[in-house]
A and B are shown apart, each in its own frame.
Chain A
Amino acid sequence: MKKIVSIIIVLGAGVVMWLVPACYSLLRPHTDKFPFVLYSQLDSDFIAFRTIDKQVHYEDFHGQVFTKAQADSLLPLFAYRQLLAEGRMPDSLYGYELTPKLIQRYTFHFKTSPRQLHKPSVGLYTMLESASGSVDLTLPPDVFRLTDDGLEFIDCETNALLPAKSRSFTRELKKKGFCFPVQCIWGNGTTRKDYDNGFLLSDSQEQLYWLRMQHGMPVVFPISSDNTHGWKQLFTMEPASHLMIGLAVTKDNRLYVIRSPHKENVPTSVALPIECYNPDEMQITIIGDLFHWTVTLYTDHDIRYYALPSDAIYYKDSIPLTLHSYIPDPAPTWQQKMVHILMPLRLHFTSYRTQRIFPTLNDDGL
């Protein structure tokens, strides 16, 4: 019976370690410590939108405070609708004639977090038609799975394999040098987008490929890259500019942009001057416009901001860093310090890093 008593004590301790911090987490005030930040080329600085007492305050990283109208003027590509409504929109900026169409074409938002990436994968993918000629994308009649030696398409109506289509896609990939099995794959299976950029894949040799379906046939491009460390994470994107296919993260945490084929007629990749982006640990937000990308990385200790010139990202061989800054996380409050003293062991089954349920100790960011 002593063993059973020990089991009851261990279970009881586990319940206390789990539920007491969980109750504290529900009771403590949640403050928004992350301001929304954009780079302003006109101010040559980042402008932060801080919400304090339900009021939005605008200031740059040098402490200069702005009114909303001033902030709108400093961020004309972000606030162009407001400026147009007020008749304050500049006709041109840095040699570009600013029209809503041009602004929309180059503006994109990208956001992902470890929690979005770490979830059980279904292992089935939908390959949309990339050249349907139709404005509205439609779902294909089949899905595909990855095998050790190729792709396997399954007809959704009959739940039967499609050997001819599977052979066709596998053969085309192998013809372009793809070595199965697939290491990484990413595609946006949704039809709620303007066009389809297919899939980015990396093979067993860590070579990167771009796969699309055009008129029912596979189109494969190898993507040149100077990365020798292998690929950890791929993201396919469909920006309105059509200038890039997506993003790729290397196993040594460098972020690459995969450019659409233009001059060389093959897609190319270029590293962004960001020292470390670990998709397993960090949330990332990218807001791109005609002139700059504002990249925000949320790490365990701080928030890092990078401003990168758009034209270099899309067209140049090397990308300079326009500006880099960071905001350290606020020092722990006395309540948080007390929590660490009173509850040195905190058991969690959910995490901001993953959608999986798994027990972890002290993984709460308290």
Chain B
Amino acid sequence: MFQQFFYKEWLKTKWVIILLGMIHIGMIIYLMLALRSTLIASGKIETIATMIGRDMLFITPYMYIPLISSVVLALVQWLPEMQQRRIRLTLHLPVSMGLSIGSMLAFSLFALLIMFGIVACLLVVIESIWLPRELIVRALLTLGPWFIAGLMGYSVTSWIILEPSWGIRIVWLAIGAPVVYVCLISSQPACYDHFLPWLIVLACTVTCLPFYSVYRLSMGKGL
């Protein structure tokens, strides 16, 4: 049943996922080309000295891309379900809510993780040609909170969309938006290094929030 839900979600969102994946890959390739251009134009020594002395990594334009793409994915996945009330059909299937909604949420989170994984791999492979490993680790530590913001952004957006009552949606937005923003307070390289494990715990916790909205939906609240 898990595979069927995955396949259903893939059919529904594949073009958006492919488009978002291309945006992610295109963005990271663009940033790496921009870094290469700087290395050639300013000189490798000067560029590396700038990266060390002035806390620059040349990946800051990517900061909000994971969050924006996860919000778009959640909108594409859940808005038709809510508008056309297809979610109610899903809830009437002879499987538990945990399995049906859980599979649908897991599909998108898995898709986002694959996108982020490809971005991280591309960054490591390309930057390791030019830069010492310390700067690559620093770039990964900087990307980490942005990826977590993406995962939390997806869960929070799903939580809000699946909520049946508009009034409660605003309350969830007031709680969810600051929680996601915690990952984006600063763009300074690696400044989340000590907080990153706790952010992962927070992201895992936030993943369960959409289930509450679906529970309220199944109870007929807010309708």
A contact residues vs B (CB 8 Å cutoff): 1, 3-5, 7-8, 11-12, 14-15, 18-19, 119-120, 122-126, 139-141, 143, 145, 154, 156-157, 159, 189-190, 349-350, 355-359
Q: Is the CB of A7 within 8 A of B194?
A: no
Which residues on A sit within 8 Å (CB–CB) of B11? none
Q: How near does chain A come to B2, taking the closest CB pair, in angstroms?
A: 22
Q: Is the CB of B132 within 8 A of A4?
A: no
Q: Is the CB of B129 within 8 A of A159?
A: yes
Segment touching A, from B66-74, B79-87, B173-181: B173-181
Q: Is the CB of A120 within 8 A of B44?
A: no
With A11-B179, A15-B174, A350-B186 given, is the CB distance from A189 to B52 under 8 Å?
A: yes
Q: Cα distance A53–B123 when bound, in Å?
A: 52
With A5-B212, A143-B132 given, is the CB distance from A189 to B178 under 8 Å?
A: no
Q: Is the CB of B191 within 8 A of A356?
A: yes
Q: Cα distance A156–B129 when bound, in Å?
A: 11
Segment touching A, from B14-22, B30-38, B109-117, B203-211: B203-211
With A140-B45, A159-B129, A356-B194 given, is the CB distance from A120 to B175 under 8 Å?
A: no
Q: Cα distance A323–B189 when bound, in Å?
A: 42
Q: Tell yes or no: B192 within 8 A of A by CB.
A: yes
Closest chain B residue to A120, Cβ basis:
B190
Q: For the side of the interface on B, what is the size category?
A: 35 or more
* CB within 8 Å of A: which B129-143 residues: 129-132, 134-135, 138, 141
Which residues on A sit within 8 Å (CB–CB) of B211? 1, 4
Q: Cα distance A189–B50 when bound, in Å?
A: 10
Q: Is the CB of B52 within 8 A of A122?
A: yes
Can you show 9 pairs from A to B with CB atoms below 8 A apart? Answer: A3-B208, A4-B209, A5-B212, A7-B209, A159-B132, A350-B186, A357-B195, A358-B195, A359-B198
Which 7 interchain pairs have the tightest Cβ spacing? A120-B190, A4-B212, A123-B134, A156-B45, A156-B44, A15-B178, A12-B175
Which residues on B sit within 8 Å (CB–CB) of A15? 174-175, 178-179
How would you classify the secondary structure of chain B's contact residues: helix, strand, loop or mixed? helix
> 8 new A-B pairs (CB below 8 Å) besides A11-B179, A11-B206, A120-B189?
A1-B211, A4-B211, A15-B178, A143-B48, A159-B128, A159-B132, A349-B185, A358-B194
With A11-B179, A156-B48 given, is the CB distance from A357 to B186 under 8 Å?
A: yes
Question: Which of A122, A157, A189, A355 touches B138 (beta carbons < 8 Å)?
Answer: A122
Which residues on A sit within 8 Å (CB–CB) of B188? 119, 355
Q: How near does chain B come to A100, taking the closest CB pair, in angstroms?
A: 31
Q: How near does chain A come to B52, taking the closest CB pair, in angstroms?
A: 5
Q: What's the A-B contact tally at a CB cutoff of 8 Å?
A: 100
Q: Tell yes or no: B6 within 8 A of A by CB.
A: no
Q: Cα distance A12–B190 when bound, in Å?
A: 27
Which residues on A sit within 8 Å (CB–CB) of B52? 122, 124-126, 143, 189
With A356-B195, A357-B191 given, is the CB distance from A145 to B185 under 8 Å?
A: no
With A4-B208, A139-B46, A159-B130 given, is the CB distance from A120 to B178 under 8 Å?
A: no
Q: Is the CB of B141 within 8 A of A120?
A: yes
Q: How near does chain B come to A310, taking the closest CB pair, in angstroms?
A: 30
Q: Is the CB of B179 within 8 A of A122?
A: no
Q: Is the CB of A124 within 8 A of B194?
A: no
Closest chain A residue to B189, Cβ basis:
A120
Which residues on B sit within 8 Å (CB–CB) of A4? 208-209, 211-212, 215
Closest chain B residue to A141, Cβ basis:
B45
Closest chain B residue to A161, Cβ basis:
B132
Identify which of B52, B135, B185, B192 gathers the most chain A CB atoms within 10 Å of its CB.
B52
Q: Is the CB of A356 within 8 A of B212?
A: no
Question: Which of B44, B134, B212 touches A8 (beta carbons < 8 Å)?
Answer: B212
Which residues on B sit within 8 Å (CB–CB) of A1? 211-212, 215
Q: Is the CB of A355 within 8 A of B132?
A: no
